[in-house]
Structure 1
Amino acid sequence: MTNNILLVGVGGQGTILASKLLTIGLLESGYDVKMSEIHGMSQRGGSVSSHVRYGDKVESPVIELGGADILVSFEKMEALRYLNYLKPNGIVVVNDFEINSMPILSGKLDYPENAVEVLKSKAKTIVIDGAKEAETIGNSKVMNVILLGTIIKSMKLEDIDWDKILRDNIKPKLIDINLKALEVGMNLV
């Protein structure tokens, strides 16, 4: 059986780092893992998606439409953009956070005011305020690791040695705050 996790956000939010940490943890636990990442028009500010598939044997790195077990969105509008990738019984974890894209900044589009309500009407949705949680623990840049914690808990991956994964892959001066962020994220779901 293959499990499918789709992480989406905007460039600069740490979506790719979170997916890489997730992939490393899954690989070190013996799963067959495939990861694919897609960057938008610009690395910082463009749409970013990362497909992580794991199980006994994974053939393709890309999640098909309607195939994601969980959609984790670092930004609300990105959750709406990628909702068609979610399985009918899948879960959305959405960060209650807005980043205005260039079409919105230029006035060509309006940011959807009811993004969370739309998500809740279409799928089981867990809403978190990752920015507030990150500020509470003292570093706004760990929002991505908080969201990683929500994936770990939602997908029942707590038995992996995430402490080791973070220690091996995060700068030493940032390990403690990231360990705390991971714990906070796991406690949000």
Structure 2
Amino acid sequence: MKDTMNILFCGVGGQGILLASEITSDALIETGLDVKKSEVHGMAQRGGAVEAHLRLGERVYSPLIEPGGADVLVSFEMMEALRYMPYLNSNTKVILNTQRIYPLSVATGLENYPEDCIERLRSLGLEVFPVDALSIAREIGEVRVVNI
């Protein structure tokens, strides 16, 4: 077993990526693990990319996950998962919210939204776990908990 575990959260501003990483981090700290976290907000307020790196283990020295180093990718938006492919390796597990949030370039017709996000990830030999988190949140009557 590795000395550390690396979890990468990604999505679009407003989806609760930072809150989800904070809740996960706090829970892991309670177990006695050393946890380091780093966040990139970018254009979060304008629907831009947001990421949070979470590293845990007996002793962790850096909060940043190196390319190819993610053990788990938690993507809150399908296309965003493709942006973080450089962080994945053949053993990475991908938890993928199937919600689509179209960036301005797609909404204005300048680009097409990739229809094959799941297939592209699986073509790398990755285990991909698609989750319709928005539908689940609607079923329980609270869409604000999509990120939980």
Taking only aligned residues, the RMSD between alpha carbons, in angstroms, comes to: 1.0
The 3 A distance-change label for structure 1 pair 42 and 143 is closer
> 1:60, CA displacement in angstroms?
0.6
Amino acid at match of 2:142: N
Kindly state the Cα deviation for residue 107 of structure 1 after the two structures are TM-superposed: 2.1
- More divergent stretch after superposition (113-122 vs 6-15): 113-122
Q: How far off is 1:125 after superposition?
A: 0.6
Equivalent residues in 2 for 1:1-189 (5 A)? Answer: 1-122=3-124, 123-145=126-148
Stretches of 4+ moved more than 6 A in 1? none
CA deviations 1:50-73 (Å, max 9, x no partner) are 000000111110000000000010
User: TM-score, normalised on structure 1?
Assistant: 0.74
Cα separation, partners in 2 of 1:42 and 1:5, compared to 1, 3 Å: closer
Does structure 1 retain, via aligned residues, the 8 Å contact 2:18–2:39? yes
Q: Write the distance in 2 (CA, Å) between the matches of 1:76 and 1:10.
A: 10
Structure 1 contact 7–73 (Cα < 8 Å) conserved: yes
Tell me the alpha carbon deviations over residues 65-92 of structure 1, each in whole angstroms, 9 at most, x when there is no partner: 0000000100000011102211221111
Unaligned runs of 5+ in 1: 146-189
Residue identity over aligned pairs, in percent, reads 49
- Give unmatched runs, 5+ long, in structure 2: none
Q: Could you tell me which amino acid in structure 2 is paired with residue 144 of structure 1?
A: N
2-structure distance, mates of 1:43, 1:134: 22
